[in-house]
Amino acid sequence: MSNDENDYLRARLQKNAIDAVNKDAYFKEVYHVLNTDERLQNYFKDFDEKSVKEFKEYYAHRKVSWRFAEYNLTEFKAKLDGRFHEYCVDSLKNIQLKKLFHAIASWVSEEVTFEGIEIRWDWYQWIARPFSCPYLPPIEKHEVECYIDFLNEVGYDFSISDSYIHLSPDNFLETEEVKGADRWDGDVDEEISYGSWFKYYDKCYDTEYYKLKPGTRINKENKYELHAYEEQRMKYPIDPNIVHAPYLDFYDEKENFVRLFEDSEFKHLYRAHEAQTAQNRFAEEIDMEMFT
């Protein structure tokens, strides 16, 4: 090993040692604040005690990671100021989500089965990772051209290009409120939405019939779940005098927690971290030879 290599290794080890000390000190500082700050105690008091302890420990560890990745994250965020890279990712994701919608529609109506999909909750792993879904074909060039035409039609107004699409097997659930109505339009339920991109895709490919498929499997699942719940309730009756505090889940509450209690500088750092995580996940999932 050369002298230059030895010097580099020595400097790297020294930096790691210093970082370890600083991270440990910062963790203790964050954890102390989480346990003593009056505003935070008022926030935590309504949640299950065990879950609060787990939340504090995990949040402190994650905050250390976010803080000590500050340079790389800030640099990464600067590269995305134009947001065009994010728009490209969202556009490709939206194409796959539309095809995933078709697969879910066919499944909930009991027209097809998929290996590994037994209940509706099994779909959520693929809704979160549509590029990895084994039931979908790769994105084709004509679909990209269709999305470009869609953006041209809306005047490149990315605010209405469905950058966030709520997709769920429960979209096909027919409740008393939506029977006889169009489930995908109006103000029946804000989460049950059928956005402008999906409508444009239907117009291009004549696929509107997918949204009209009945949620047969979902209705059956709900009946089974209700029956199981009633059996458990009869077997283990609930004492009305016992009130259980809600569970504080890190992944459900971290966004709200950062918004409520962190300063603007750290909020910027957190958003940069979330953006980088999303892009890294995309890079791992997407097949670079997806165009056929």
pLDDT in tens, 129-182: 898 899 999 999 999 999 999 988 877 655 555 555 778 888 776 544 444 334
Contact call for residues 66 and 274 (beta carbons, < 8 A): no
Residues 224 and 106 in one domain: yes
Q: Is residue 21 part of a domain?
A: yes
Among residues 195, 212, 235, which one ends one of the domains?
Answer: 235
Residues 111 and 207 in one domain: yes
Residues 222 and 258 in one domain: no
Contact call for residues 86 and 80 (beta carbons, < 8 A): yes
Q: Residue 268: pLDDT band by 50, 70, 90 thresholds?
A: confident
φ, ψ at 175 (rounded to 5°):
-100, 175
Contact call for residues 31 and 57 (beta carbons, < 8 A): yes
Q: Is 42 helix (H, G, I), strand (E, B) or coil?
A: helix
More confident residue, 239 or 28: 28
Residues 148 and 204 in one domain: yes
Q: Is residue 240 part of a domain?
A: no
Q: Say how many domains are in the chain.
A: 2
DSSP 175-204: -TTTTTS-TTSTTS-TTS---HHHHHHHHH
Tell me which residue range forms the domain holding 43: 3-68+246-285
Residues 101 and 218 in one domain: yes
Q: Of 113-117, 153-157, 242-246, where does mean pLDDT reach its minimum? A: 153-157
Burial group, residue 174, by CB count within 10 angstroms (0-12, 13-18, 19+): middle
The rounded distance, in Å, linking the Cα atoms of 94 and 127 is 11
More confident residue, 44 or 17: 44
Q: Residue 15: pLDDT band by 50, 70, 90 thresholds?
A: confident
Residues 35 and 108 in one domain: no
Residues 126 and 24 in one domain: no
82: left (phi over 0), alpha (psi -120 to 50) or beta: alpha
Residues 110 and 156 in one domain: yes
**Half-sphere exposure at residue 74, Cβ-oriented, CA atoms within 13 angstroms:** 7
More confident residue, 258 or 265: 258
Entry pTM: 0.56
